[in-house]
């Protein structure tokens, strides 16, 4: 084999997958995984590990894969991550571990993400679960939100003997993993549900339908319900809108609404009661991963889909792999295009999306070239459905009901990066609630840091 | 699971249920709502809280059967359980935050329309428990749709029944009765709380604006999560976008864009809306529009 090239991974054919919700990437088989693992150079000073937000001992698990001891490989990963099957699928490895891989200097880096996924899936298929703690320390921790940061923090604490309860506002645990990321990228039953069961196997309890800040406050958890510490991982759930005319028209949705109806409420399945307007001609505004998810969902529901983004392809914030997949599936990219208004009919339904063409000027504060309007370039994209995927911000509910918990001007909870400590004693936070909308793995990293902070706070650092 | 301990049919298509939900009962206030999911495949149905008993951990809800989901809900019996019951959601009525002195100075008129009578009840009861007397108009098309009259008479100083067809009480709509009270009986009010169908609330606010009386309305638009996440429940209030689930459900009625809210309600709720979706999406439409959100 050509050691400079990674072992290619099988994918569902673009034409076929555009009409179903089955997973796009099919993952490595045993032989492929072993072969790919053999490309690892076993660096003395492994840089890949420094690129991982949860510091997985990558060379160690890759070595076990090469030795065909997949069970041991799973054990290595499990020490660091509660959600390997999720991370192997949705982490932006190309900017993290794989970006640091020495193999990548000349040729392709080792496919660390695909190997992680292989190990997690192998363990799943062989009924291997993480081992529950041998003893309990009697300290109780409440985790708010069952998304990536909450599950990670809960898993780490439970593994060290803490008595952990997760409070989830929705009816199903998983946070963005269940309401946001679609089935074709992250299978719900097979992967997400399974990983949550693994966290529960460590002794973590999950109480759904509890909206912290409404059903119970953080202060009540600490005083009345006897928790010794609280971790807030409530995410960034509030959708943004552009503020352009016509945005409240029928047929305009936030990406959150569109994806929640499809992913969490399973509106695409007729046997579920939640209705959904999937659209025939759909315009998705935005260029991030959420925009790609919404666009590819609409496509699978039978729509012609345009992605409207105000900068050029180079600036698209979505993962390259997602953009590539979206294009393969037939999604049209209207780049350097910005909406100015939503055109409606007399009954208040969407008829089109009026846009202007943009050009790139000088770099702005973000270092990206600032898009400016080309005057008089207005044109209308035919659309019956417009999906706004412009990012999200944290829900103010918890901060506004917790005495002494401070937020910054963006509404993000102020927490120390090293240990997740907030301005309130015994209360820790991490993930999108602190950073604003970011990635699954960064949230997991923050959940891990907070677990360390909580252990230290509760005097359990010796373990 | 959340057990139903009592079920009562209040009118033809309006039901009342007591549901055991400890956390909600402990922390809810008048004006807030819950989200109910009947079973694994059910919608998240937002319903305003009608009453609660903190000690017993019981919450009372009332609903009208308007679509597939609420019809299915009406099939549930005492002893059955709902799969999910989340809340309390939304902000409590702004009356709750006012001091008793402030409330005592106010003359408040409640205007309740149809199933909207249910969320009015806990507000009047809450005020009564603090010694504050209020008036309440209960309006419906016909006498068989008047609900909670007896309960209301126990807590409101005056209850006025109006029916469009004159089958009970005053003949006319709630606006006719408001005019009657103010113009003929020379009653004065400095706050109106109107809860009922959108069209009723719209016309009440037009009338009270002419009288110069501040008016609070409770909005119950389409929503999914009920926690601020989806934005489906957005509406224009004073020209800015508000989410009914977290900013409301109660708003200053004189600032709400009712025409837009009515258009948005068409989206899934009415036959017209569903027909529109079919014309957009054709016969292979994959959404399941046989149902509605409330």
| Whole-complex ipTM | 0.88
Calpha distance A427→A256 (Å, rounded): 28
Mutate which: B82, B89, B287, vs A, most A CBs within 10 A: B287
Which residue, chain included where needed, has tokens 């014309």? Answer: B279
Q: Which of A276, A301, A395 has the CB atom closest to B228's CB atom?
A: A395
Q: Are residues A266 and A223 in the same domain?
A: no
CATH number 1.10.10.60 is the correct assignment for the domain at B2-89: no
Probe site for chain B from A208, A214, A258, A347 (most B CB atoms < 10 A): A214
Q: Is B98 on the interface with A (CB under 8 A)?
A: no
Residue at A333 is within a domain: yes
Burial (CB < 10 A; 0-12, 13-18, 19+), residue A459, is exposed
Does B238 touch chain A if contact means CB atoms closer than 8 Å?
Answer: no
pLDDT of B277 reads: 59
Classify domain B99-218 at the CATH class level: alpha beta
3-state secondary structure of A294: helix
> What's the pLDDT at B276?
59
Q: Are A458 and A163 in contact (CB under 8 A)?
A: no
Q: Please indicate, yes or no, if residue A462 is contained in any of the structural domains.
A: no
Q: Is B129 helix (H, G, I), strand (E, B) or coil?
A: helix
> Considering the domain boundaries, does residue A131 fall inside one?
no
Residue A269 lies in a domain: yes
Q: What is the mean pLDDT of residues B49-75?
A: 92
- Choose the final residue of a domain: A91, A125, A159: A125
Q: Which of A254, A302, A384 sits opposite B230 (nearest CB)?
A: A254
Give the Cα separation of A394 and B229 in Å (integer): 10
**Are A384 and A250 members of one domain?**
yes
Q: Does B235 touch chain A (CB under 8 A)?
A: yes
Residue in A393, A392, A379 with CA at minimum distance from that of residue A306: A379
Per the structure block, which two tokens stand in for A399?
Answer: 């901060």
Query: Are residues A14 and A107 located together in one domain of the fold?
Result: yes
Query: Any idea what DSSP says for residue A187?
Result: -
Task: Report the residue from B68, B260, B286 with minimal CB separation from A268.
Answer: B286
| B41 and chain A in contact, CB less than 8 A | yes
A412 domain-assigned = yes
Cα of A278 to nearest chain B Cα, Å: 7
pLDDT per residue over B124-158, tens digit each? 999 999 999 999 999 999 999 999 999 999 999 99
Range of the domain at A218: 140-237+393-457
> B241 to chain A: which residues are within 8 Å by CB?
241, 243, 247-248
Roughly how many angstroms between the first and final C-alpha of chain A, as a whole number?
45
- A368 and A404 both lie in a single domain: no
The nearest CA of chain A is from the CA of B201 a distance in Å of 20
| DSSP string for A19-39 | T--S-SB----HHHHHHHHTT
**A302 vs B contacts (CB less than 8 Å):** 281, 284, 286
Selected residue of A189, A211, A271 to mutate for chain B interface (largest B Cβ count, 10 A): A211
Element (H, E) at B84: strand B84-89
Same domain assignment for residues A418 and A436: yes
pLDDT tops 60 at residue B289: no
Pair A357, A258 in one domain: yes
Domain assignment of residue A162, yes or no: yes
From A392, A137, A203, A331, select the one nearest B227 (Cα to Cα): A392
Assess whether A298 and A323 both reside in one domain: yes
Identify the pLDDT of residue B273.
57
Instruction: Give how far B277 is from chain A: nearest CA, Å.
Output: 7
Note the pLDDT of residue B292: 35
Q: How far apart are CA B245 and CA B45, in angstroms?
A: 12
CATH number at residue A331: 3.50.50.60
- Which residue in A20, A207, A215 has the most chain B C-beta atoms within 10 A of its own C-beta, making it the best mutation to test that interface? A215
Q: How far apart are CA A79 and CA A59, in angstroms?
A: 14
The partner residue sitting opposite B41, judged by closest CB among A208, A250, A271, is A271
Flag whether residue B54 sits within 8 Å of chain A, measured between CB atoms: no
Question: Domain-by-domain residue ranges, chain B?
Answer: 2-89, 99-218
Are A71 and A158 in a shared domain? no
Domain boundary among A349, A367, A390: A390
Interior angle at CA B99, CA B24 and CA B190, nearest 5: 105
Query: Hey, which residues 105-134 in chain B have their CB within 8 Å of chain A?
Result: none
Size of interface A-B (CB pairs under 8 A): 161
Query: Considering its fold, how many domains does chain A have in total?
Result: 3
Nearest chain A residue to B86 by CA distance is A209
Question: Among A16-20, B10-14, B121-125, which range has the highest average pLDDT?
Answer: B121-125
B288 has pLDDT over 70? no
Is B286 a residue whose pLDDT tops 50?
Answer: no
Specify the pLDDT at position A101: 94
The residues, any chain, with a CB within 8 Å of residue A28's CB and separated by 6 or more, are: A7, A9, A36, A111, A114, A115, A117, A118
- Assigned domain for A132 exists: no
pLDDT at residue B287 is higher than 80: no
CA angle B27, B30, B31 (to 5 degrees): 110
Residues A281 and A379 in one domain: yes
Q: Give the Cα separation of A176 and A199 in Å (integer).
A: 17
pLDDT at B293: 35
Which of A214, A237, A385 faces B87 most closely, judged by CB atoms? Answer: A214
Report DSSP letters for A310-378, one per residue.
SS-GGG--S-HHHHHHHHHHT-EEE-SEEEEEEEE-TTSBEEEEEEEEEEEEEE-TTSSEEEEE-TT--
Last residue of a domain, one of A342, A366, A390: A390
Token digits for B185? 């009986």
**Smallest Cα distance from A302 to chain B, Å:** 8
In B, minimum Cα distance to A220 occurs at B27
- Which chain B residue's Cα is nearest to A391? B229
Torsion angle of C-alpha atoms A131, A135, A140, A145, degrees rounded to 10? 0
The predicted model gives B5-23 an average pLDDT of 94
Q: Pairing state of beta strands A281-285 and A140-144? A: unpaired
Which helix (H) or strand (E) element contains residue A207? Answer: strand A205-207
- Predicted local confidence at residue B135, as pLDDT: 96
pLDDT averaged over every residue in chain B: 90
Whether residue B266 lies within 8 A of chain A, CB to CB, comes out as: yes
Per the CB < 8 Å rule, is A280 touching B232?
no
Q: Is B33 on the interface with A (CB under 8 A)?
A: no
What whole-number percentage of chain B has pLDDT above 70?
91
pLDDT by 10s per residue, chain A, length 463: 788 899 999 999 999 999 889 999 999 999 999 999 999 999 989 999 999 988 899 999 999 999 999 999 999 998 888 889 998 888 888 889 999 999 999 999 999 999 999 999 999 999 988 888 888 999 999 999 999 999 999 999 999 999 999 999 999 999 999 999 999 999 998 899 999 999 999 999 999 999 999 999 999 999 999 999 999 999 998 999 999 999 999 999 999 999 999 999 988 888 888 888 888 999 999 999 999 999 999 999 999 999 999 999 999 999 998 999 999 999 999 999 999 999 999 888 999 999 999 999 888 887 888 899 999 999 999 999 999 999 999 988 899 899 999 999 989 999 999 999 999 999 999 999 999 988 888 999 999 999 999 999 998 765 4
Are A36 and A52 in the same domain? yes
User: Is A169–B227 a contact, with Cβ atoms under 8 angstroms apart?
Assistant: yes
Closest-CA residue to A420 (of A439, A436, A433): A433
Q: How far apart are CA B104 and CA B111, in angstroms?
A: 19
Q: Check whether residue A267 and residue A375 sit in a common domain.
A: yes
Alpha-carbon distance B33 to nearest alpha carbon in chain A (angstroms): 11
How does pLDDT run across B256-272, given as a tens digit for each residue? 999 999 999 888 765 55
Nearest to A209 among B84, B234, B263 (CB): B84
The answer to whether B286 contacts chain A (CB < 8 Å) is: yes
Residue of A nearest to B35 (CA): A209
Chain B residue with the nearest C-alpha to that of A393: B229
Do A212 and A312 fall within a single domain? no
- Check residue A366 and give its pLDDT: 79
Q: Enumerate the residues of chain B whose CB falls inside 8 A of the CB of residue A279.
A: 280-281
Cβ–Cβ gap B273/A250 under 8 Å? yes
């Amino acid at each position: 084999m050509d050691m400079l090239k990674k072992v290619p991974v099988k994918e569902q054919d673009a034409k076929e997958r555009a009409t179903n919700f089955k997973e796009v990437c099919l993952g490595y088989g045993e032989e492929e995984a072993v072969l790919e693992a053999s490309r690892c150079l076993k660096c003395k000073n492994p840089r890949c590990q420094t690129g991982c937000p949860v510091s997985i001992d990558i060379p160690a698990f890759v070595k076990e894969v090469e030795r065909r001891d997949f069970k041991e490989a799973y054990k290595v990963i499990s020490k660091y991550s509660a959600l390997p099957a999720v991370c192997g699928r949705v982490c932006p490895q190309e900017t993290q571990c794989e970006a640091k891989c020495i193999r990548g200097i000349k040729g392709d880096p080792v496919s660390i993400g695909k190997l992680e996924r292989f190990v997690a899936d192998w363990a799943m298929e062989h009924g291997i679960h993480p081992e529950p703690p041998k003893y309990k320390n009697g300290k109780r921790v409440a985790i708010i939100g069952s998304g990536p940061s909450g599950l990670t923090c809960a898993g780490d604490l439970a593994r060290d003997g803490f008595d952990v309860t997760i409070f989830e506002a929705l009816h199903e645990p998983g946070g963005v993993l269940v309401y946001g990321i679609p089935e074709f990228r992250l299978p719900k039953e097979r992967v997400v549900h399974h990983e949550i069961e693994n966290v529960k196997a460590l002794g973590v309890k999950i109480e759904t339908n509890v909206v912290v800040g409404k059903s119970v406050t953080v202060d009540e958890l600490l005083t009345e319900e006897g928790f010794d510490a609280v971790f807030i991982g409530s995410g960034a759930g509030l959708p943004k809108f552009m503020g352009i005319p016509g945005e409240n028209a029928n047929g305009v949705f936030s990406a959150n609404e569109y994806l929640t109806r499809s992913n969490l409420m399973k509106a695409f399945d007729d046997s579920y009661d939640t209705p959904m307007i999937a659209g025939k001609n759909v315009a998705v505004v935005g260029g991030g991963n959420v925009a790609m998810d919404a666009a590819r969902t609409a496509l699978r529901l039978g729509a012609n889909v345009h992605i409207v983004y105000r900068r050029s392809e180079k600036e698209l914030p979505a993962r390259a792999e997602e953009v590539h997949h979206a294009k393969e599936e037939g999604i049209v990219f209207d780049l350097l295009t910005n909406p100015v208004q939503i055109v409606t009919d007399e009954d208040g339904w969407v008829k089109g999306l009026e846009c202007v063409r943009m050009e790139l000027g000088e770099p702005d504060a973000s270092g990206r070239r600032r898009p400016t309007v080309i005057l008089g370039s207005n044109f209308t994209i035919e659309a019956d459905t417009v999906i706004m995927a412009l990012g999200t911000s944290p829900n103010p509910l918890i901060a506004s009901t917790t005495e002494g918990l401070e937020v910054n001007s963006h509404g993000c909870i102020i927490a120390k990066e090293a240990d997740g400590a907030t301005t309130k004693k015994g209360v820790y936070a991490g993930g999108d609630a602190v950073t604003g909308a970011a990635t699954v793995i960064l949230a997991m990293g923050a959940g891990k840091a907070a677990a360390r902070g909580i252990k230290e706070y509760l005097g359990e650092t010796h373990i | 699971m959340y057990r139903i301990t009592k079920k009562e049919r209040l009118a033809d298509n309006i039901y009342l249920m007591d549901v055991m939900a400890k956390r909600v009962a402990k922390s809810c206030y008048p004006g807030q709502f819950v989200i109910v999911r009947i079973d694994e495949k059910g919608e998240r149905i937002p319903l305003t809280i009608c009453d609660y008993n903190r000690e017993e951990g019981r919450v009372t809800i009332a609903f009208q059967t308007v679509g597939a989901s609420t019809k299915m809900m009406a099939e549930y019996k005492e002893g059955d359980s709902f799969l999910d019951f989340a809340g309390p959601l939304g902000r409590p009525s702004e009356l709750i935050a006012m001091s008793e002195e402030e409330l005592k100075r106010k003359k408040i008129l409640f205007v309740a329309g149809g199933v909207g009578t249910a969320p009015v009840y806990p507000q009047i009861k809450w005020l009564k428990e603090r010694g504050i007397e209020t008036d309440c108009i209960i309006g419906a098309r016909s006498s068989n749709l008047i609900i909670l009259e007896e309960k209301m008479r126990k807590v409101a100083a005056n209850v006025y029944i109006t029916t469009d067809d004159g089958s009970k009480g005053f003949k006319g709509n709630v606006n006719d009765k408001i005019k009657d009270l103010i113009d003929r009986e020379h009653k004065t009010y400095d706050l109106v709380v109107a809860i009922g169908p959108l069209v009723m609330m719209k016309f009440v606010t037009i009338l009270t604006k002419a009288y110069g009386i501040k008016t609070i309305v409770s909005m119950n638009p389409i929503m999914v999560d009920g926690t601020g996440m989806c934005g489906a429940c957005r509406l224009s209030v004073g020209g800015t976008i508000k989410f009914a689930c977290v900013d409301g459900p109660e708003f200053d009625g004189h600032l709400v864009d009712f025409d837009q809210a009515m258009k948005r309600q068409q989206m899934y709720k009415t036959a017209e809306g569903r027909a529109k979706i079919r014309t957009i999406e054709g016969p292979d439409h994959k959404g399941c529009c046989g149902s509605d959100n409330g």
